[in-house]
């Protein structure tokens, strides 16, 4: 089972930049998309079906052109769950889950903390999301949470840990939350295979950051401990350039 998570920073813009052609070539079984910034009725859904993904599920924010997540799949899930049931999360379209046989895949987009108000909302989301997942694991133990966490876990995951020490996304409190979340029963699938530095999934559009590889690793496929023995590969896909993020891939036997 090959799963790719990709913050596309606008699915319509990504399609114009060759997303569909890339998707056909990459050919994952499941694609978790974040920041769709579009409602299904604003899209030509046939292009996804023609690319080999007849099953596609979209969960949009109430605010037009904002946030939104989706799951594309080659096979039909047993069940699709939209949102978390927590109102302020769901109005921003940040969670969708598809259950397949003995594996469940969630596309998740955690808020950024661009200002004090948003940072407070981010911390609230983090706390409530943790409680939600702790309860969900009792029902759905083989869970994969793929998406944009908007947090770098360790110094190895950011190009300049010293200068960014007080920037949201690398705050000590955020990093501690992610560390504790992973230790609560997940494997950071990329770091399971790769401990090399300078491996990033997001680059600012400013100062030629991507070409200079001055990035952040904020996109993850966190895999339940119960699936650890089935992990076969996990990689970044920086050659895909439809967004300021790149796709991140995990494969399970």
pLDDT per position as a tens digit, 18-33 = 999 999 999 999 999 9
- As given in the structure block, the two tokens for residue 154 are 């360790």
Q: What is the DSSP letter of 158?
A: B
Q: How far is Cα 5 from Cα 22, in angstroms, rounded to an integer?
A: 14
Mean pLDDT across 123-151 = 97
Query: Which residue in 243, 172, 178 sits closest to 204, CA to CA?
Result: 243
Candidates 29, 148, 157, 188; catalytic one: 148
Long-range contacts of 13-21 (CB under 8 A, 24+ apart): 13/242, 13/243, 14/242, 14/243, 15/47, 17/241, 17/242, 18/242, 19/242, 20/47, 20/48, 20/51
Q: What is the DSSP letter of 207?
A: G
Model confidence band, residue 176 (pLDDT cutoffs 50, 70, 90) = very high
Model confidence band, residue 115 (pLDDT cutoffs 50, 70, 90) = confident
Long-range contacts of 122-126 (CB under 8 A, 24+ apart): 122/150, 122/168, 122/174, 123/173, 124/88, 125/88, 125/89, 125/94, 126/174, 126/177
Q: How far is Cα 167 from Cα 85, in angstroms, rounded to an integer?
A: 30
Catalytic residue list contains 148 = yes
Q: How far is Cα 110 from Cα 125, in angstroms, rounded to an integer?
A: 8
Q: How far is Cα 76 from Cα 58, in angstroms, rounded to an integer?
A: 14
pLDDT for the residue 116: 82
Model confidence band, residue 248 (pLDDT cutoffs 50, 70, 90) = very high
Q: Is the pLDDT of residue 239 over 90?
A: yes
Model confidence band, residue 194 (pLDDT cutoffs 50, 70, 90) = very high
Q: How far is Cα 96 from Cα 208, in angstroms, rounded to an integer?
A: 33
**Residues near 216 by Cβ (< 8 Å), separated by ≥ 6?**
152, 157, 158, 159, 169, 170, 200, 201, 202, 203
Tell me if the pTM is above 0.95: yes
Q: How far is Cα 77 from Cα 98, in angstroms, rounded to an integer?
A: 6
Q: What domains lie within the chain, and their CATH numbers?
A: 2-252 (3.60.10.10)
């Amino acid at each position: 089972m090959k799963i790719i998570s990709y913050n596309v920073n606008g699915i319509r813009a990504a399609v114009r930049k060759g997303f569909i052609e890339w998707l056909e070539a990459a050919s994952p079984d499941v694609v978790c998309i974040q920041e769709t910034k579009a409602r299904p009725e604003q899209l030509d859904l046939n292009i996804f079906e023609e690319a080999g993904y007849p099953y596609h599920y979209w969960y949009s924010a109430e605010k037009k052109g904002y946030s939104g997540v989706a799951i594309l799949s080659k096979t039909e899930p047993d069940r699709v769950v939209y949102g978390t049931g927590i109102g302020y999360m769901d109005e921003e379209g940040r969670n969708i889950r598809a259950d397949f046989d003995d594996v469940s895949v969630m596309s998740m987009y955690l808020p950024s903390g661009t200002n004090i108000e948003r940072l407070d909302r981010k911390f609230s989301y983090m706390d409530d999301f943790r409680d939600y997942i702790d309860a969900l694991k009792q029902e759905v133990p083989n869970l994969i949470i793929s998406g944009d966490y908007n947090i770098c876990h360790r110094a190895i995951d950011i190009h300049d840990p010293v200068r960014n020490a007080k920037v949201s996304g690398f705050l000590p409190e955020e990093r501690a939350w992610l560390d504790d979340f992973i230790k609560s029963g997940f494997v950071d699938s990329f770091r399971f295979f790769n401990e090399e530095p300078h491996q990033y999934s997001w680059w600012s559009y400013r100062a030629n950051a991507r070409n200079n590889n001055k990035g952040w690793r904020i996109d993850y496929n966190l895999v339940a401990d119960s699936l650890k023995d089935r992990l076969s590969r996990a990689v970044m896909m920086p050659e895909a350039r439809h967004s300021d993020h790149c796709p991140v891939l995990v494969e399970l036997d």
